[in-house]
Amino acid sequence: MKFTQAATLLLSLGLSLPVEGITRARNQAVAPKPPFRPLPDSPPRTKTCHVKANKNGKDDAPNILSALKECNNGGHVIFDKDTEYTVATAMDMTFLNHVDLEILGKITFTPDTDYWQANAFRHTFQNATTFFNLGGTDVNLYGSGELNGNGQIWYDLYAKDPLVLRPILVGIIGMHGGTFGPIKLRYSPQWYTIVVDSTDVLFDGVDISGYSKSAHEAKNTDGWDTYRSSNIVIQNSVINNGDDCVSFKPNSTEILVQNLHCNGSHGISVGSLGQYKDEVDIVENILVYNIAMYNSSNMARIKVWPGVPSALSTDLQGGGGLGSVRNITYDNMVIGNVDWAIEVTQCYGQKNLTLCNQFPSKLTISDVFIRNMKGVTSGKRNPNVGTIVCSSPNVCSNIYATNIDVKSPKGTNDFICTNVSVSYFLP
């Protein structure tokens, strides 16, 4: 689906995209569903700093850090309109306190793959790295501008070496109170956004897009991945990507996702979880509401590793972790050309179901509510439209699919269910 079509659909839902010259409305409303806990206020800023651009491709990271330090503790930092900024140095911006970053120009990260593999910030989960870390207290980033990850060189490099460390475009690390958006995110080398050790953050009006221009796909380009974070809101955004639209990684709690248009993705996913042996992963109190999902492999998805080591790919393998998935709700969804309307599995990465059942997952799934979904699947899984596969009936309970008005192109609406008792009601 083209971006203009996505914009038209979003507008039909009463939503809007970032427009030129927009400014952040302080203390934006979260609607139609409220956050799990009230988000903190953001007081007015009292000083302004402009970031100087060196131009001609010279590194602007020192100028950015200088402006942030000057305007920290109550300031407003502006990246000027019609100005291109180049970042060639990894930036730690986790020291911020009561500050706004208004991006009116374009910020591009250099295509120096050797430098970024050696110097991007490393995180503990799935070998994730970031171009920069943004965090602190009451931090707001917004504007009509763009963050660009120069992803094409990374897509081509990953095709040759699947173990290459591709940076994530946006790292929200240790942020407590803040907003992100409206803003444009383009051509991330890997995930677009990772949220780590953060609380009370609102993402609103984020425009994500970036496909490969070569034969090598832009892989693993998740829109958002939350990790060890709580009370996060993601809303009113359009995502054109090649992997999960949103993914709730280990220890994500009280997350609200609403009013999204996702195109070309792998769905809105819980997980993957249970990847690391004997580590405890908990994902609970998740609400996904009012989602349009097109040209994707999944819509509502829960993916858990089995109790035995498994390998999904060269750079993604695991199994044997502990924990639980509980109180997950997907409500009010429209799909088109989606392979699986619903996919729940505890055999992620393990194609041998006999082996998966022999070594069932140590991570339980319970109290999952999927309701009010309509549309037509791609037909790739004919005659099936959904699959719920548990590695043991002892680790899955209370999974409900209600008012599921989804059919395959042949008019069928079959489900594959293994080791689980599912309550499934057609409209």
- Three-class DSSP category at 280: strand
Task: List the catalytic residues.
Answer: 266
Provide the β-strand partners of residue 382.
none
Q: DSSP state, 290?
A: E
**Locus of tokens 């719920």:** 388
Q: For the chain, give percent helix, strand, coil, nearest 5.
A: 10, 50, 40
Q: Is the distance from CB of 281 to CB of 250 less than 8 angstroms? A: yes
Q: Would you call 381 helix, strand, or coil by DSSP?
A: coil
Q: How do beta strands 310-313 and 316-318 pair? A: antiparallel
Q: Alpha carbon 96 to chain centroid distance?
A: 23
Q: Is the dihedral of CA 315, 343, 236, 2 positive or negative?
A: positive
Q: Measured between alpha carbons, how far apart are the two ends of the chain, in Å?
A: 28
Residues 6+ apart with CB under 8 A from 171: 121, 123, 130, 131, 132, 133, 134, 193, 194, 196
Angstrom CA distances, 173 to 196, 203, 235, 291, 411, stand at 5, 14, 19, 26, 46
- For the record, the structure tokens of 277 come out as 């042996």
